[in-house]
Structures are given as structure tokens and as C-alpha cells.
Structure 1
Amino acid sequence: MAKVVDAIRKYFDERNRAWVTGSCNELRDKSRTSVSTAWLRDLQHRIRRKQQEMRYRKSQLLRAHSKVGVKSLQQDGDLTTAEIIEIINWIYRDGLKYSAESRIVAHVQKWKLHNGEWLLAEAVESSELKQRSKELPIQKSETGRGDAPLYPYPRYLQCQTYDRVRAQRYADLWWNSYNPAYVKFLEDDCTNFISQCLYAAGMPMHKEGNNRAKGWWYYPGSGQKGVNWSYSWSTSNALHQYLVHVVGATMIEDPNKLNVGDLVFYDWNGQGTFHHTTIVTDFDSNGDPLVNAHTEPSYHRHYRYLDSPAWTPQTRYSYVHLPSDIC
């Protein structure tokens, strides 16, 4: 097993070099695979998109390094299946300063023993691509509950100040883990995470009985009553409607006019349904928003998501500015 783990770590070392050079040639040669191999082709595509994003931002990628944790190894003859969690950090030059972006990626890899050497045969990694395939995302959580389409909400009168610093602190604290006070969604945790940020910043919940199609709320469970939540708590499209039509949030045209604590919504297909949500936590030297998110946990990622497998030329964004007082 130790030799397999050593091969895995060498793979990620070469992978990190490829992020900076923009080429997978050395990785291909050392893996003794062909350019048509699916995992290598997908990785090359991701690296090219990352390089394109850096050029768009007029930034220079200087270094990539990963903390790799092997969760499990299952050996069957000369084939070993590995489940891996990678925390990858990109260091880049941003104008006159240096900045970092981080992400958590889950990998499932199959390694084959060939002439005494472990070679990568298959590799799959997590991505936002699953979100793009759903017109109305249906989240499955550890409770086994599901979601449904949204219906209009009534307004409410209780007002609270929206604390942007608290929203930012919460997003930076929990971007790479899960607050145990809330349900962890097994597939699309993005809007659940954003709702937690909003609540930590002072946005009040609004609940009318157990009607999940109304208000914005999360119920942690008590006694015989299990945990429950509104559709707007966990679904990107429903949250967007709630914020704009009930809270009084405004959609703005220029993303550079967003503030820390504002949100970006993503319609991957450009067909009018939002699939993903992020929160603004910083800005780069161009004034572009940097965002935190879950599903593929991301820290200070450029808001356009150009390097995401879910991004398409049809992708549309909604830049949502939260009011200072939420009523």
C-alpha cells in the first residue's frame, strides 16, 4: 500500500507543476498514458481554463500546492481504488500584490500495477458540473429530504441590520468545512452555505407554519419534529426570488459595484434558472469580486468561474446587492 500512496503523492506533485506550466506532458509521460486518456484529457481542459482565467484577469499563476489526504484504499489484485481529498492552493501575482485561491476537490482514482510500477488508470473528481444538469436542483441531504419548485412569498415587517463583516467572517471560517449546527447536503450544498452566511450576518428568518414554499427558514428539529427548511434556504433559484421580491435586494449590472457580503447567482445554461450561489468575500486588483462557495468548496475564487466544468458560453450571472436593513 505504501507504494501506491507514494505514486499518488507523486501524481499530485506533477499535477501542481502542470497548473503553473499549462502542460500535462510530463504527467502524461510519467503516467505512461496517451493524450486521449479520459482523465488526462479532462485535467488538461481544466488547466487550460485556469490559464485562460489568469490571462483574462491579467494575473500570473506562480505556484500550486496541495494537501492530499487518502481517505481509503481498496485493493483487488493488481488494481487499487483510492478515495482522496485534496485541498489545493493557487498563489498568483495580482497587480502589485500576491494573492491566494483555495479549493477542496474530492477524487476517486484507480491505480493499476504494471511491471512493478503503479500507474493511474482512471480518475474522477468532483465538480459543479452536476448542477448544470438540473433545471430545478433537488438537494438530497443526510435527512433524505428533497426540494420542490418555489411559490410567491408574503412580506414581513421585522427589520434587522445586515452585517457584511459577519457574513464575510462566516464565509471565510466555514468555506472548507461544515457547521455541525446545520444539515450537510450531500450533492449541492452551495445555497445552504450561503443561507448560513446570511443568517450569521443578521438576516431574519421568516416561517409560516411548515410551509416550505413560503419564507426563508431553517428548523433544527426538536423532540419528535425533525430538521426541516424552506426551499429558499437550500435552492439557488428560490433564494434569488426571495431576496429580490421579498427582502428588497437589488440586481445590479456591474459586478465591480458589489460589496463584501453581496451574492452572485449562476445560470449555467442561460435558460433562466439559477443553479449556483456564491458570496463576495474580497476583490482583486482589478476590482473584480472574489467569492467563497460550497459544493466544490472554494475560497476567494474569481466570480466568473471560468475554470469550472459547469461554465458554458451561455452562462448568465445575477449580481445581487443586499440592503443595509432587511425588512
Structure 2
Amino acid sequence: MLLTALLIPSAARAEDAGKEEVVRFLNQLYASRAQSLLHAEPRPISPFYIAAEKTSRYALHHELRRTEYMHAWAERRNIEFVHAGSEIHITQFKRQADRIKLSLTQSLKLSYVYKNGAREPQHFGVGTRHTLTLKQLDGQWYVLKEWYSDPLEEDPKLIPTWLHAQDHVRIPMPLAYPASASRPVKYDRAKAVRYADKYAGLAWGAGNGHKYNSKYKDYSGRGGDCTNFSSQIVGDPHEGAGLRMTPTWFYSRNEGGSTAWIRTDSFKNYLLYQGHGALIRRGKYVDIMKSSSRFPKGAFAEMKPGDFVGYELKQGDIDHFSIIVGFDANGYPLVNSHSADRYHVPWDLGWDKSTVFWLIHMRDHS
């Protein structure tokens, strides 16, 4: 009995020490990957992967392509990334001989400045959920496999061409406007933005302990949570922007969200056909940003914090929704969303020149 009592704590200490070693490896891995986004150098992250393993090479290739995309996008937008930070939390951990299977979440912070404009750093956050398999070789840990839904996974060759500043720069507008006595506010933009910031999930900068609003189901594994989040922003009875639920557009604890509440195209149709929102412009990046007789400063000049952007990948089929939460120091629109989690992210980051954007302006008054 005495021998057993002594061995169990010893084994537990060894297991804890082994896990601490893995945690150090993972912190180094994700910190190095964050730094690679600043410098576009493959060398800092290559040693974490196994060249002889196909799945490991694929995981490395994904990160290198991601880095290439980020730098190509920054070049097109005339910005420079100046800081990157990473925080991870392990949610599942299982060791099997020389391998470990685990799940974790990452909160990534990126900061940028404009090369020929505002030099004050602008900050945004992205949150992702990862599933990994690690393999130990000669006492060292390496990434054997990794999967995550990456909002920055794009072809660097398909980034829309940069337009001159005068074609798109606009002055940020206030979050709320006083209502006249005869026209009470129906849609509270300030509350919409506060909700979007509070419940932006895993993204750096988000509130609520990086958790979604627990009153609602998480649809991330069932087609995505972006529209559910957008509906919450608009219609949560206590913290949302003020729209009342209807028999068509609603959420209940037992049933979850209605089709119009959780499906992108149904939500878009509900906003537009019920008169809650108006379509300002539908088009590709250049169409949206360029100056025209109708939009001398570009279509975004008609948009305010609390308005929505839809992202169409297939003809007529919206794939994603985000909410405008503000504008950076150079007037570039910033958005929040779920699936993946974004906090004050430049609105087109992660989308390419074939994406069709829907700019939906919410009606403030009844």
C-alpha cells in the first residue's frame, strides 16, 4: 500500500511535467507563427514541422501561404504590420505513446500602421479553434497534423487591386444620432456595436471572457454562427439594437433560431423585404470602393457602425455576414463576426477579388 501511494504522485508529476513541455512547445509554435506574419520569413516556423511527413508538410505550407497572403494584402492596402501577439488555451489533451492529440483555441492580435498616412498603430483580433496531432522524434515535439477554419486562408494572387486613397477614405461617423420626437429610434447603433464587441468570442479584444452569449446556441459546427450572431446583435431583447422578434425571425431556448435567424440568405431577405435595411450597393471590391457619380466617396460613405456586410461567394448565395463596428484612423471600415471570430478586422481581409459584397444599411427610425 505504501509503495502504491508513493508511485501514483510520482507518475502524476511526470505527466504534469510532460504536459508542461508540450505547452511550452505550443506557445513557441504559435508565437513564432504570429511573428512570421510580421516578417514573411519561413525560417522561424519550419523547425516545428517534419519534412518527411506529408501531413506535416501540408500544415507548414498552409502557414507559409497564410503569411504570403497577409503580406500581399498589406502591400495592396499600403499598410505595414508592426506587432503580433498570440494567446492559446488547450481545451482537450490526450497522449498516445509518441503522439498527442489535442484541441486548443488561439486569440491572435495584429497591429498595423499606414505607410503614407496615420502612423498610430491600429489593432484587430482574430480567434480560431484548432485540432492538432503532435509527434515526438528524438525527444522533440513536432506538428504532424493540424486543422482549423482559417479566416485568413486566401490566394495572395487574388487580392483586389489597391485604389488611391481619395477613392475610398471617409471620416468616421458617430455611433448614435439623436432622434426627433416624431421619429423614435428603432435601431440603436451604439447598442449594436457594444453587443458585437462584447460577444466577439475568441478574437483578441472581445469581451465576456472570450465567450459567446450563453443564452444562444453555437452554430459554428452546423454551418457557421455568423448569422446567428448578427441576429443577436439586432434582436437580443436586453442588449441588442432593438428590433423585435417576429413569427418569421426569432430565437427560442427550446427551438433555437428560425431559418431567418440563422441562415444568411434568409436573414438578408428578412432585413431587406421587411424594410429594416436597405441595400446600398452590391458588387466586387473595386465596385464598392471606387468613386462614382452616385457615390463620390465610394459606397461605404453611406454606411455607419451597426450596418452589415454580406459576402457572396456563389451567384446570389451569401456565405457570411459581418457588422461594421467602426473605421480605422485612415477611414477604412472595420468589422466583427463569428465563424471565425473577428474583432475590428479590416472588412475585406480574408476575401478575394471574386467575392461579391452586399452593403446593407440599417434603418434607424420606425
Mean Cα displacement is larger for which, 30-39 or 7-16?
30-39
SS in 1 for 2:274: helix
- Aligned-pair distance for 1:30? 4.9
| Residue 232 (structure 1) aligned to one of 260, 263, 270 | 260
CA distance in structure 2 between the aligned counterparts of 1:30 and 1:40, rounded to whole angstroms: 9
Q: Please give the TM-score of this superposition, normalised by the length of structure 1.
A: 0.80
What aligned pairs does 1:38-117 form with structure 2 within 5 A after superposition? 38-94=58-114, 95-117=118-140
SS of residue paired to 1:275: strand
Q: Is the 8 A contact 1:57 1:286 kept in 2?
A: no
Shift of 1:81: 1.2
- Which of 241, 244, 264 is matched with 2:269 structurally? 241
Counterpart of 1:14 in 2: which secondary structure? helix
Indicate the RMSD between aligned Cα atoms, in angstroms.
Answer: 2.1
Work out whether 1:251 is the aligned partner of 2:279: yes
| Corresponding residue for residue 301 of structure 1 | 345
Contact 1:71-1:82 within 8 A present in 2 as well: yes
Q: Tell me the equivalent position of 2:216.
A: 182
SS at match of 2:318: coil
Taking a change above 3 Å as real, the CA distance of residues 75 and 201 of structure 1, as seen in their structure-2 partners, is same
Identity level (%): 23
- CA shift, 1:191, in A, is 0.4
Q: Please say if residues 268 and 312 of structure 1, whose CA atoms lie closer than 8 Å, have aligned partners that are also in contact.
A: no
What is the rounded CA distance, in whole Å, between the counterparts of 2:357 and 2:108 in structure 1? 26
Q: What corresponds to 1:152 in structure 2?
A: none
Structure 1 unaligned residues grouped into runs of 5+: 131-158, 208-214, 221-225
- Report what 1:273 is aligned to: 317
Is 1:28–1:35's contact at 8 Å kept on the other side of the alignment? no
Unaligned runs of 5+ in 2: 1-18, 154-183, 202-210, 282-298
Using the alignment, how far apart are the partners of 1:201 and 1:23 within structure 2?
Answer: 44
The whole-number CA distance in structure 1 between the counterparts of 2:78 and 2:357 is 21
1:89–1:101 Cα contact (<8 Å) kept = yes
Counterpart secondary structure, 1:178: coil
Task: Tell me if the contact between 1:86 and 1:105 (Cα under 8 Å) persists in the aligned partners.
Answer: yes
Q: Which amino acid aligns with 1:162?
A: Y
Structure exhibiting the larger radius of gyration computed from Cα positions: 2
* Matched letter for residue 300 of structure 1: H
- Conservation of the 8 A alpha-carbon contact between 1:189 and 1:295: yes
**1-structure distance, mates of 2:217, 2:39:** 40
Q: How far 1:248 moved relative to its partner?
A: 4.5
Contact 1:218 1:233 in 2 (8 A): yes
Q: Give the number of equivalent residue pairs.
A: 281
Aligned position for 2:230: 194
On the 8 A contact 1:79/1:110 being kept in 2, the answer is yes
Matches within 5 A, 1:140-219: 161-176=186-201, 177-187=211-221, 188-199=224-235, 200-207=240-247, 215-219=248-252
Tell me the alpha carbon deviations over residues 197-229 of structure 1, each in whole angstroms, 9 at most, x when there is no partner.
11111112221xxxxxxx211223xxxxx2343
Query: Cα deviation per residue 1:258-284 (whole Å; 9 max; x = unaligned)?
Result: 100000001123x11001000000112
Answer whether contact 1:71 1:84 (CA < 8 A) is retained. yes
Q: 1:299 to 1:129 in 2, by over 3 A?
A: closer
